[in-house]
């Protein structure tokens, strides 16, 4: 068993996921991303929690797929992201934070700021131009959160451990 940290993500519906994947491939500098587009819920849970995390995600999978509002394009300074809103997921996440509080990193203990990063690690001018281009004609839309996924961080690419589909 490895002691590599665990990552929990939300998988979006296929059309939304495909859009974010395409933008990420086009906008990230070559060789600067090891994973595809994702909505991170927890960045670094201890490996010792794996059984409990799998149990909690499995129990949550009994829920309906969640409406996720893609609200705006935001600047990351050296990149761009889409800000998302999903009140039921924020509430669920807060309960998980309470459950794992003593094990959380500073980042994972923060209130959940749902987003999908489509560009990062570029110069400020390039990032500003990307944000302006993405904002041009942007219309908010409703996506669906369709699954919770568990990953292991292996120093670059992530290893997929489990997918828990939400009811559709």
The pLDDT, as a whole number, for residue 122 is 95
The secondary structure of 116-167 as a DSSP string is EEEE-SS-HHHHHHHHHHHHTT---EEEEEEEEEEEEE-SSSEEEEEEEEPB
DSSP run (H or E) holding 6: strand 6-12
Supply the pLDDT for residue 157.
Answer: 85
pLDDT of residue 164: 96
> What's the predicted TM-score (pTM) here?
0.94
Which CB contacts under 8 angstroms, 24+ apart, belong to 87-90?
88/63, 89/10, 89/41, 89/114, 89/145, 90/114
Q: For residue 149, what are the β-bridge partners?
A: 9, 163
Task: Per residue of the chain (168 residues), give pLDDT as tens.
Answer: 579 999 999 999 999 999 999 999 999 888 777 788 999 999 999 999 999 999 999 999 889 999 999 999 999 999 999 999 999 999 999 999 999 999 999 999 999 999 999 999 999 999 999 999 999 989 999 999 999 999 999 988 899 999 999 997
How many angstroms separate the CA atoms of 53 and 6, rounded?
9
Q: Which pLDDT does position 152 carry in this prediction?
A: 97
- DSSP annotation of 103: G
In order of their start, the domains of the chain are 6-165 (3.90.1140.10)
Distance CA 90, CA 41 (A): 9
């Amino acid at each position: 068993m490895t002691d590599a940290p665990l990552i929990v993500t939300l998988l979006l519906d296929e059309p939304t996921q495909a859009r974010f994947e395409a933008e990420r491939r086009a906008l990230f500098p070559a060789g600067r991303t090891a994973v595809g587009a994702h909505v991170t819920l927890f960045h670094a849970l201890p490996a010792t929690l794996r059984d409990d995390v799998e149990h909690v995600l499995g129990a949550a999978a009994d829920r309906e797929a969640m409406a996720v509002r893609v609200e705006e394009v935001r600047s990351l300074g050296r990149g761009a992201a889409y800000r998302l809103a999903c009140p039921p997921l924020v509430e669920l996440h807060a309960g998980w934070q309470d459950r794992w509080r003593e094990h959380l990193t500073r980042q994972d203990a923060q209130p959940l700021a749902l987003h999908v990063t489509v560009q990062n690690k570029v110069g400020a001018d390039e990032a500003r131009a990307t944000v302006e281009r993405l904002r041009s004609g942007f219309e908010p839309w409703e996506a669906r959160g369709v699954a919770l996924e568990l990953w292991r961080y292996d120093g670059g690419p992530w290893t997929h451990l489990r997918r828990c589909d939400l009811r559709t």
